[in-house]
Chains A and B, each alone.
Chain A
Amino acid sequence: MRNAYKMMMLDMHAVSARNNVVYIYLAIDLITIGLAYSPMREDAFLIGFGGMIGGSGAYLITPFISSAQRSLDALYAMLPIRRRDVVHGHYLFALTVGLLMLGNTWLTLMVIHLLRPALFGSDFQILLSISLVGPYMLLMMTAVQYPILMRVSYEKAPYAVFLPFIVTGLFVGYLGGISSQFVGTAGFLSRRGLRIGGIALAVGAVLFIGSLWLARRLYEYRDL
């Protein structure tokens, strides 16, 4: 786990400081808060939320793009770590980005709610629960993309990376919409909502762990 953490930090370092996820989120936050004062009103959050999902999704593949441009896989091969540590590090990176995104989304929501309490009204709780869909979607994208990236690399198959990205986005978006209707106005924090959320979480966890297992096997046998 210690090596996976080091690898995760290396992934963070592999991304240009200018493209650091903290700065990306900060920029989106400011735009979102600014839009909350525009005629967009409560829709400003949804725009910002979309921006965060897009920005986070793009950020997730930056270590692989960087790896394709500069032989980072060769760099990893020089380090005293096993290949599985490299894979664990990448997944830990994705989890970290997902958690950062969730924290940032909630923070933005709360700031807007504090500045303009009347804007969201009773929808505030629903928006808090909808925010959970973002990192969930992100981690599902990771579960599909990362094994492909581990096997063929971004350089060799960029479309093999982007197509699952789009398909997963549509699929999770569809599931999110269906779930919202099913849960109704009570929100995901209601008993019914929590049950549905629990099932989604369990399915997501199984997919994520399965993906991690697959990525480990694929990277283990890859020629670098």
Chain B
Amino acid sequence: MMVTGEEENLIVVDGLAKQYKEFTLHGIHFHLPAGYIMGMIGPNGAGKTTTIKALLDMIRPDAGTISLLGAATAADRIALRDSLGVQLDTTLYPDYWRVKQVAKSLRSFFPQWDDAYFDQLCTDMEIPLKTKYKSMSRGTQVKLQLAAALAHHPRLLILDEPTAGLDPLARDELLTRLQDFIADGQHSVLLSTHLTGDLERIADFLLYIRGGRQQFFGHVDDLLGQYVLIKGGLADLTPALRAALIGLRTHSEGLSGLLAVDQTVGLPDTLLQESITLEELMIYFGRGPHA
């Protein structure tokens, strides 16, 4: 696809599966080359966090292989964690910790920990130094995690809902920071989010998971270019079109649905064909192929 053999993949996941009592993650497969940002989207409970936990060896997959920064075994991946920056969608530090305590506790674990850079990040992100972690807003807690994730100069960032709780300005600053992070072509970012607008702005690759199943993976532009949004009257809805439309929605005034570009040949002129946004792609795919 978009990745040539010469590009180095910082993440390669193949056939990842994990079964719980009430949820199963089925055969996830994707790769993330150096120098790119990949977005992982899907509704709540889709399997995004499970995928991230598998990448971090927090859970043991039932099937599949994971290569992180070239390390294919759990032991090798752990040895490379200094090159990995992580932010999780959970309250991560003890309640009473302040910024200083975070640095004090983490610096001994990361040989490349950079106190000056951490201080700079905290200043840039306007993280209050004297406030206890439990008293910080959700957005500030995320910022503190991000500062800690970046402070040891990782090569790969894995971020779970990093824009949650951030105001529009902070969100914009974060997205700019992530773009700067990958600018040298050696670093990459994997982030999961509900906010497709953020991904539309920065993501090169997209992984869409729903109900534990991978809906698609690919380059954002390729994916958006592969489908068009079809709108028209109900009279145009032939059985063949009904079968071909993805996420078909019918209402009193007509119909709408996604259609693969190669299936648009021969469509009547009465049907409108519009380019799609990431959000529309997610919504229509979310409804299933023949809703």
* Chain B residues with CB under 8 A of A221: 60
Query: Does A181 interact with chain B (Cβ within 8 Å)?
Result: no
* A81 contacts across to B, CB distance below 8 A: 78, 109
- CA gap between A13 and B107 in the complex, in Å: 13
Tally A residues with Cβ within 8 Å of B.
26
Decide if B92 touches A75 in the complex (CB within 8 Å). Answer: yes
B90 adjacent to A71 (CB under 8 Å): yes
Residue in chain B with minimal CB distance to A224: B58
B94 located at the interface, meaning its Cβ lies under 8 Å from any Cβ of chain A in the complex: yes
CA distance A82 to B91 in the complex (A): 22
Residues of A126-185 whose CB lies within 8 A of B? none
Name the distance in Å between A21's Cβ and chain B's nearest Cβ.
Answer: 15
Interface string of A182-204 (1 = CB under 8 A from B): 00000000000000000000000
- Roughly how many angstroms separate A10 CA and B104 CA in the complex, as a whole number? 9
- Interface: A121 (CB within 8 A): no
B52-76 interface code vs A (CB 8 A; 1 in, 0 out): 0100111110000000000000010
Q: What's the Cα separation between A18 and B56 when bound, in Å?
A: 33
Q: Is the CB of B108 within 8 A of A70?
A: no
Is A80's CB within 8 Å of the partner chain B?
Answer: yes
Chain A residues whose C-beta falls within 8 Å of the C-beta of B53 in the assembled complex: 223-224
Of listed B60, B91, B93, B110, residue having the most chain A CB within 10 A: B93
CB-contact partner of A14 in B58, B81, B94, B106, under 8 A: B94
How far, in whole Å, are A215 and B60 apart by their CA atoms in the complex? 18
Query: Could you tell me if A69 and B95 are in contact, using CB atoms closer than 8 angstroms?
Result: yes
Chain A contact surface mostly: helix
CA distance A73 to B91 in the complex (A): 11
* Nearest-Cβ distance from residue A28 to partner chain B, whole angstroms: 22
Tell yes or no: B79 within 8 A of A by CB: yes
Residues in B whose Cβ lies below 8 Å from that of A1: none
Q: Which of A71, A75, A82, A223 gathers most chain B CB within 10 Å?
A: A75
Q: B82: CB under 8 A from chain A?
A: yes
**Residue of A at shortest CB range from B56?**
A77
- Judge if B270 is at the interface, Cβ distance under 8 Å: no
- Report A80 CB to chain B, min CB distance, Å: 4
Docked complex Cα distance between A81 and B105 (Å): 14
Decide: A80 and B109 in contact? CB cutoff 8 A: yes
Residue from B59, B86, B95, B133 in contact with A78 in the complex, judged by beta carbons closer than 8 Å: B86
Inter-chain CA distance A221–B57, complex, in Å, is 10
**Interface set, chain B 74-118, CB cutoff 8 A to A:** 75, 78-82, 84, 86, 88, 90-97, 101, 104-106, 108-110
Residues of A at under 8 Å CB distance from B? 6, 9-10, 13-18, 66, 69-75, 77-82, 221, 223-224
